[in-house]
Amino acid sequence: MFRRKIAVVSILIVLCGGFIEVKAQGLKFGRLNSLRLSESLVRGNSNLSILTVLGYRYQFSEELKAGVDFGFHSGTYDDSIVKEFNSAASIDFTYSHGRTVELYGSASAGYGFFTGILANKFIYQFNPLAMRIGNGSIVGFAELGWGYRGLLTAGLAYKF
């Protein structure tokens, strides 16, 4: 039953992503902007573990990017091993462009699927302060906020 739910949601996410891609390519600014890989420390019942997120972003205008994130997390909760698979739609708004530093904020909302004792649930992340550093194809980023990814997220992005 759980595998069937994951398959249905995965198909819906792929279809939504395809729709966003077709619509974005019709726009003047629309292009695949970046693939992102990030790590976050998240708190379980009594320990910290790592949430890994892979995502992509389309650039709709100079200030606005949108995309989707897919995450995986494995940890312990009440002495049971719990695995989480999640997906979330995300939007980034750039405050300031510099030669090598870009300041932005982001918000994400989606759904988390859990194995073990936890129930599936709505997830969100709000990062009012975030920064990208670099001006080549590979840039680093750090985000400060709260939600399912925790307080601090850091990672690398590859720009197309």
pLDDT digits (tens, 9 = 90+) for 50-76: 889 999 999 888 899 999 999 998 877
- pLDDT at residue 43 above 70? no
pTM of the entire structure?
0.73
| pLDDT value of residue 131 | 95
- pLDDT at residue 21 above 50? no
- Cβ atoms of 130 and 104 within 8 Å: the answer is yes
Query: E strands within 1-159?
Result: 31-43, 48-59, 64-77, 80-97, 101-114, 121-133, 138-147, 152-159
The angle formed by the CA atoms of residues 26, 157 and 115, to the nearest 5 degrees, is: 95
CA dist 40 and 155 (Å) reads: 9
The token pair that represents 141 in the structure block: 């980023």
Question: pLDDT category, 4, cuts 50, 70, 90?
Answer: low
pLDDT digits (tens, 9 = 90+) for 111-147: 999 887 778 899 999 999 999 999 888 899 999 999 9
